[in-house]
Amino acid sequence: MDRIDFRSDTVSWPTPAMRLAMAEARVGDDVYGEDPTTNEMEALAAEMLGKEAALFVASGTMGNLTAILTHCRRGDEAIVGLDSHTFRYEAGGMASLGGVMPYPLPTDGLGRMALADVAAAVRVDDPHYPRSRLILLENSYGAKHGAPIPAGYFAAVRELADRYGLRVHLDGARYFNAVVALGISPKEIAGYVDSVSFCLSKGLCAPAGSILVGSAEFIHQARRVRKVLGGGMRQTGVLAAAGMVALTQMVDRLAEDHARARRLAWGLAEIPGLVLDPVLVQTNMVFFELAEAVTLPAGEIVQRLRTLANVWVDTAGPRRFRVVTHFWIDDNAVALFLETLHAILRNG
Ligand code: TLP
End of a domain among 221, 249, 277? 249
End of a domain among 210, 225, 249? 249
DSSP 14: P
Considering the domain boundaries, does residue 337 fall inside one? yes
- What pLDDT is recorded for position 1? 82
Q: CB count, 10 Å around CB of 109?
A: 10
Are 234 and 268 part of one and the same domain?
no
Q: How buried is 17 (Cβ within 10 angstroms: 0-12 exposed, 13-18 middle, 19+ buried)?
A: middle
User: Which of the four pLDDT bands, split at 50, 70 and 90, describes residue 228?
Assistant: very high
pLDDT of 317 above 90: yes
Are 245 and 257 part of one and the same domain?
no
Overall average pLDDT of the 150-159 stretch:
98
Are 234 and 262 part of one and the same domain?
no
Instruction: Give the DSSP H or E segment for 344.
Output: helix 331-347
Are 319 and 279 part of one and the same domain?
yes
Omega of the bond leading into 140 within 30 degrees of 0 (cis)? yes
Dist. CA 331–CA 337, nearest whole Å: 10
Overall average pLDDT of the 21-44 stretch:
98
Considering the domain boundaries, does residue 258 fall inside one? yes
Q: CB count, 10 Å around CB of 23?
A: 9
Considering the domain boundaries, does residue 2 fall inside one? no
Are 298 and 240 part of one and the same domain?
no
Are 39 and 187 part of one and the same domain?
yes
Are 136 and 230 part of one and the same domain?
yes
Are 21 and 41 part of one and the same domain?
yes
CB–CB of 275/290 below 8 Å? yes
Question: What is the tens place of the pLDDT at every residue in 244-262?
Answer: 999 999 999 999 999 999 9
- CATH number of the domain where residue 281 is located: 3.90.1150.10
- Hey, which of 84, 88, 89 would you mutate to test ligand 1's pocket, going by the most ligand atoms within 8 Å of its Cβ? 89
CA of 211 to the centre of ligand 1 (A): 14
Question: What is the tens place of the pLDDT at every residue in 107-123?
Answer: 999 999 999 999 999 99
User: Number of folded domains in the chain?
Assistant: 2
CA of 76 to the centre of ligand 1 (A): 24
Question: What is the tens place of the pLDDT at every residue in 4-31?
Answer: 999 999 999 999 999 999 999 999 999 9
Residue 138 phi, psi (nearest 5): -145, 140
Dist. CA 13–CA 16, nearest whole Å: 9
Question: What is the tens place of the pLDDT at every residue in 49-98?
Answer: 999 999 999 999 999 999 999 999 999 999 999 999 999 999 999 999 99
Are 216 and 109 part of one and the same domain?
yes
Closest protein CA for atom 1 of ligand 1? 85
Dist. CA 297–CA 319, nearest whole Å: 7
- What pLDDT is recorded for position 217? 98
Considering the domain boundaries, does residue 288 fall inside one? yes
Are 190 and 276 part of one and the same domain?
no
pLDDT of 348 above 90: no
CA of 158 to the centre of ligand 1 (A): 24
Considering the domain boundaries, does residue 145 fall inside one? yes
Q: Which of 3, 15, 1, 7 is nearest to 253 (CA)?
A: 15
Dist. CA 114–CA 138, nearest whole Å: 14
CA of 61 to the centre of ligand 1 (A): 7
- In total, the chain counts a number of residues equal to 348
In the chain, beta strands by DSSP E: 4-5, 53-57, 76-81, 101-105, 131-138, 167-172, 195-199, 210-214, 274-275, 285-290, 311-312, 314-317, 320-324
* Helical packing angle, 331-347 and 298-309, nearest 10°: 130
- What pLDDT is recorded for position 111? 98
End of a domain among 201, 223, 249? 249
Considering the domain boundaries, does residue 278 fall inside one? yes
Q: Which residues line ligand 1 (CB under 6 A)?
A: 8, 10, 59-61, 85, 89, 138, 142, 171, 173, 199, 210
Dist. CA 218–CA 48, nearest whole Å: 17
Are 110 and 135 part of one and the same domain?
yes
Considering the domain boundaries, does residue 144 fall inside one? yes
Helix (H, G, I), strand (E, B) or coil at 86: helix
For residue 225, the enclosing domain spans: 14-249
Q: CB count, 10 Å around CB of 165?
A: 9
